[in-house]
Amino acid sequence: MHHPTHPALASPSSCQVLIVEDEYIIANDLELILHEAGYIVTGVADSVPEARTLIDQQRPDMVLLDIYLKGKETGIDLARHLESEAIPFIYISANDNQSVLEAVKATQPSGYVVKPFREKDVLTTLEIGRYRYAHSVEMKLREEKALQIALTDALSEAGSWEEKLLKAAMLLQEHIPFDFLAIQFCRQQTQRSYNFYRVGFEEYQVLGVDDIQPLSRVSASQLLAMQAKATHHDAQRYTESSFADFCRTNPFGQVLAQTFRLESALVMPLKININDSFVISFLSRKPDTYQFRHLSLLERLEQPIVLMLERVLAFDEVARLSEQLQREKTYLLEEVKTSANFDEIIGRSQSLLRVFDQVSQVAYTDTTVLVLGESGTGKELIARAIHNLSGRKDRILVKVNCAALPANLIESELFGHEKGAFTGALEKRTGKFELAQGGTIFLDEIGEMPLELQAKLLRVLQEKEIERVGGKTLIKIDVRVIAATNRQLEKEVSEGRFRMDLYFRLATFPITLPPLRERMEDIPPLAQFFAQKSARKIGRSLRGISQGMLAELLTYSWPGNIRELENVMEQAVIISDGQTPLELGRPLVGNLFALNLFATGPDTRTGQPGQQTTTTPPKDLHDVRQIQQQTEREYIMAVLQQTNGRIRGSGGAAELLNLKPTTLEYRLEKLGIRKTMTVQPTSFDSD
């Protein structure tokens, strides 16, 4: 019989079609129609097994499928296989039974041709089916991409795992319907479960084991044990006949099935890493809810979901560690306040506790810190405390005293040099920045750094790279910088001795240490600490500190701060007999009671103590401090006149006063003593 080709339809010579029909005449008629229309017929099968064999031999682009075939299996059974293989198909059947039609719709065919058919019916349905399938594939890809993005957003939002997973479950409902969703999360042998029971449109109850226990009449401990026993290695769907297998291998699932009248399941195990895994179980009250397309969707989503969960778990772990570190920090701070010890910085004054708070705030970052304060206030100890509380605590802390190095050697000391870079450079040298790689560098007395080197340091801070002296290769560095100075850098900047851009780069997070005279309540515990330390060092007994000595310590202005107090206590321990409370080893410099300068001021011409005066004793502590400052100024001026204005070196004023030169210079500035260019006894005036 001749079947003319419909003129309106193209002849797609590349499309291969398999015919599955058990009536020879109809199968032959279909084959002739397809051949004449330009289609390639890959074969004709009259049963499901034969059709599967032909599909394995040559995968078709489309299948024309009768419902009732030879053998036990029907076209609907084959349709499920075609769905799993993503092969489109069109039913050709005379059956209009309602239950059969429902089963047909569930398989989502690309078309349906009713017998008896015309050539036009077959070819038109075939073309429409091909078109719909091509566009449905594109649409599905878009939908899946949108679903991936939505799931990523849901799982990345702030909130508990329960909240995140509920949002993800609601997104999945449209693509993989469920009445109950069970998610089991295992981390390092610790089990957690999240269960979502659908009670209405977009309404879900979140059920824990304690909520399921009274409904199932199974103890909570048994439910937990059942969850741990469930084993799933591959994604799998369980329908009418196979759901019993699901219940047999999953005791917890069996309890859920009995409690909530569930009859089918779709299970997806997800192995995130060696320690973390998820098992997601979709369960439905209908026995035929889950089709191969649902399983295929889950399998396609598996890799992106694993990557997404891996990232979320990583952030979760970071947050957990951050919370743990915060707890440890809080604990350390409490320990500090309780024991009055912060890396050997003793005290509980409010000004010192503010410093502790600042240290704890900045320590966990890589921010550059500038520690300010007079000499002897403990700037190095603060730098060490910041390093020890940071993420770099297991790496080295390198200390550089910029004031102790000759100007021509600072660059080599900081950045290193190549062999032959300058006279005396007999071998390559690693600088302090390279040595501190991954750790922290502490630049003490940064205010003493020469201007030309300040520019190079600024570049290092900005670019995170150094160049050895005489070298030609830039070296990347990962070093945290903590700087310290006793100078007023703002004043140094205004007077052109310190670069403004370097100052602002260093002063990202300034911490100012209070001088000892502003934390007088800390003197008793400090004195006791240093006395015990010195006594242990020389093996001498300690019988406490006398009230008289303590009173003198509390009335002294401490220009040398904590370092001076430590020296005083060491002297007292050395001269003590170990049987009586400590007394002062020698008079405190500038202490008007110890030096009797209140009654006998220095002769400003000779620098020697003058004659007895009849000045009225001070009435309160404010008056005492005013007189102390005036007396200290006069005493220092007298010593400077004696050394002809020389501060540093042997026989200089700093040595006579037992102070560091930088400390003395700081005191000169504080006391308003100005040094002129001419070094004469009259070259020091008070402002």
Contact 182, 253 (CB under 8 A): yes
pLDDT at 231: 66
List the end-to-end C-alpha distance of the chain, in Å, as a whole number.
125
Matching residue, tokens 């308003």: 672
d(CA 301, CA 381): 55
pLDDT at 230 (0 to 100): 66
- Residues of the chain short of pLDDT 50, as ranges, are 1-11, 324, 327-328, 330-343, 590-621, 624, 676-687
SS3 92: strand
Distance (Å, whole) CA 17 – CA 244: 37
Q: Which residues have CB under 8 Å from 19's CB, separation 6+?
A: 27, 30, 31, 34, 41, 43, 44, 45, 63, 64
For 298-342, the pLDDT digits (tens) are 888 888 888 877 777 777 767 666 654 554 454 344 444 433 334
Side chain identity at 265, as an amino acid letter? A
The angle formed by the CA atoms of residues 596, 601 and 604, to the nearest 5 degrees, is 145
pLDDT of residue 21: 93
Question: Strand, coil or helix: what is 648?
Answer: coil
pLDDT at position 370 is: 95
What is the three-state SS of 326-392? Answer: HHHHHHHHHHHHHHCEECCEECCCHHHHHHHHHHHHHHCCCCCEEEECCCCCCHHHHHHHHHHCCCC
Residue 253: name the closest of 182, 187, 191 by CA. 182
Which two three-digit tokens encode residue 195? 């269960």
Q: Is the peptide bond before 12 cis (omega within 30 degrees of 0)?
A: no
Q: Whole-angstrom Cα distance, residue 22 to residue 92?
A: 11
**Model confidence pTM above 0.75:** no
The pLDDT of residue 667 is 78
User: What is the pLDDT at residue 682?
Assistant: 38
Distance CA 431, CA 417 (A): 7
Angstrom distances, CA of residue 559 to CA of 134, 350, 456, 549: 87, 21, 34, 18
Domains defined along the chain, listed by start? 16-135 (3.40.50.2300), 157-316 (3.30.450.80), 340-509 (3.40.50.300), 515-586 (1.10.8.60), 589-687 (no CATH)
Instruction: Using CA atoms of 389, 391, 395, 400 in order, give the dihedral in degrees to the nearest 10.
Output: -60
